[in-house]
Amino acid sequence: QTLKRSLIRECKSSSKKVVLLQGWVKKIRHLGNLSFLLLRDRTGVIQCVLENDLAGYKVDVESVVEIIGELVETTKTELGVEVLAKEVKVLNTSDRLPFEVNKRKLQVGLDQMLNERVISLRHERVSAIFKVQSTFVRAFSEYLIENDFTQIFTPKIVSQGAEGGANVFKLPYFQKEAYLAQSPQFYKQMMVAGGLERVFEIAPVYRAEYHNSSRHLNEYISLDVEFGFIHDFHEVMKLEADVLRYMFKKVGQKCEKELNLLEATVPIISEIPKITLEEAQEILKTRYRKESPVGDLDTEGEKLLGKYVKEMYDSDFVFITHYPKEARPMYTMPNKDNPAITDSFDLLYKGLEITSGAQRIHEYNMLITSFEEKGLHVEDFESYINTFQYGCPPHGGFAIGLERLVYKFLELSNVREASAFPRDCTRLIP
């Protein structure tokens, strides 16, 4: 008799009759001299029948139990099997539940869902979000590793913000002042220049943005890529399209159950249309009478463009290219023919920016000028800027906001749903 640890997967394939199951009590019903206990673990739910001495067994839902029993075939359950319990042991009781989790749809507001994360995660639709997220991340690294990229780890405590602007969290660092990294931008470029050529990083980044919106977090996971020896920034967009295609393919293959639960379908990513920012603003003006902020798109504009590319190209994605210099960080490569604009792009997915990317400046003097034009003090960025005196290949890269990708894909109500423990302007707990 070998005792098995997991539920459905083991039960289905096991020829052994005796199983050990461990999980949470989803439900218990008493019917005459039988009780039916639905036991849930990470792989699913199975019915356990409690008879004889065990009939009428008292246990609170969501308690953690261990059941030893006999696995038998039955036509009465969806699984085609159930367990005739021989022994039930309570490992830990659930004394109190802030809300009911065993409903088909979780009927709580966002705040309660986040405040009581441990309980909301018990709902299969909620935990499914994080299984999808995990699969995306794994596919991202799988694809890049297969394509000769090296995973890197760069500091999150830094001396300067890499994205310009004032959105940095300050913190005391012994006798100095430091910041939480807004992105791994400088370091990923430095590692390309260091000779690794092709790198990626998966890590949290921090933005001190005081936005209480459905798409902003103050800490999010950035999927960063940077690679050298590129000809132009179209190569960067091509790599991103390839990575995303692979990520969605893997989620389609590995998360069938989760996608069914969440009623999500994997998009077909053929050629992603490219529209220059200027064209995009013109489309918004002529088609939707929508004015845009100078050199940028606003939330409403992004939404309308999402609608436009869906109608015109049947695409959920669109690259918006060639942002003006003023709208992009100091490290962005100006366009050869028109230096007022840059070789940069954003990727919109279902009308929301999920990525920024660009070719970077790899020429020392050009970089100094670019920093100075932004009013930045070159000496504050010395170790980064020195990189470009040591021989650095033409390079570029991009970063995908993981939570935004998941939020849009699963059509959640808010990006916070795609973060297990989100940090926003007011939320620091749990």
In angstroms, give the least distance from the CB of 352 to ligand AMO: 8
Point out the catalytic residue in the list 315, 356, 370, 419.
356
Residue nearest to ligand AMO (CB): 401
- 358 annotated as ligand-binding: no
Nearer to ligand AMO, 64 or 203 (CB): 203
- 226 annotated as ligand-binding: no
Do residues 197 and 135 lie in contact, with contact meaning Cβ atoms separated by under 8 Å?
no
- 245 annotated as ligand-binding: no
- 315 annotated as ligand-binding: no
In angstroms, give the least distance from the CB of 43 to ligand AMO: 31
Residues that bind ligand AMO (CB under 6 A): 163, 183, 185, 207, 209, 216-217, 220, 222, 224, 353-358, 397-399, 401, 403-404, 415
Tally of CA atoms within 13 A in the half-sphere of 127 that contains its CB: 13
Nearer to ligand AMO, 24 or 407 (CB): 407
Nearer to ligand AMO, 163 or 316 (CB): 163
Q: How far is CA 372 from the centre of its chain?
A: 35
Cα 327 to Cα 329: distance, rounded to the nearest angstrom: 7
Q: What is the DSSP letter of 394?
A: -
SS3 209: coil
Is 207 an active-site residue?
yes
Point out the catalytic residue in the list 40, 122, 123, 215.
215
Point out the catalytic residue in the list 404, 416, 417, 419.
404
Cα 20 to Cα 183: distance, rounded to the nearest angstrom: 46
- 404 annotated as ligand-binding: yes
Please report the DSSP string for 23-60 in residue order. Answer: EEEEEEEEETTEEEEEEEETTEEEEEEEEGGGTT----
- 356 annotated as ligand-binding: yes
In angstroms, give the least distance from the CB of 296 to ligand AMO: 11
Token pair of 212 as six digits: 């209480």
User: Could you identify the residue written with the tokens 């990294």?
Assistant: 181
SS3 362: coil
Token pair of 163 as six digits: 């994205």
In angstroms, give the least distance from the CB of 400 to ligand AMO: 6
- 127 annotated as ligand-binding: no
Nearer to ligand AMO, 185 or 370 (CB): 185
Token pair of 354 as six digits: 């999920």
Q: Residue ranges of the alpha helices (H) in 357-423?
A: 364-373, 382-386, 402-409
In angstroms, give the least distance from the CB of 429 to ligand AMO: 19
- 97 annotated as ligand-binding: no
In angstroms, give the least distance from the CB of 78 to ligand AMO: 39
**201 closest CA partner among 171, 181, 218, 176:** 181
Is 96 an active-site residue?
no
**Helix-helix angle 124-146:402-409, to 10 degrees:** 120
Do residues 341 and 327 lie in contact, with contact meaning Cβ atoms separated by under 8 Å?
no
Cα 189 to Cα 133: distance, rounded to the nearest angstrom: 26
Point out the catalytic residue in the list 122, 123, 198, 216.
216
Question: Is the preceding peptide bond at 324 cis, omega within 30 degrees of 0?
Answer: no
Do residues 358 and 236 lie in contact, with contact meaning Cβ atoms separated by under 8 Å?
yes
Q: Is residue 214 exposed (0-12), middle (13-18) or buried (19+ Cβ within 10 Å)?
A: middle
Is 328 an active-site residue?
no
In angstroms, give the least distance from the CB of 353 to ligand AMO: 5
Question: Which residue(s) pair with 20 in the sheet?
Answer: 68
Point out the catalytic residue in the list 122, 207, 322, 362.
207
Token pair of 299 as six digits: 């939330």
- Other CB atoms within a 10 A radius of the CB of residue 165 amount to 12
- 216 annotated as ligand-binding: yes
Residue positions forming the annotated binding site for L-aspartate: 163, 207, 356, 360
Positions at the binding site for ATP: 207-209, 215-217, 353, 401-404
Annotation: binding site? 163, 207-209, 215-217, 353, 356, 360, 401-404
Q: Which residues are catalytic?
A: 207, 209, 215-216, 353, 356, 404
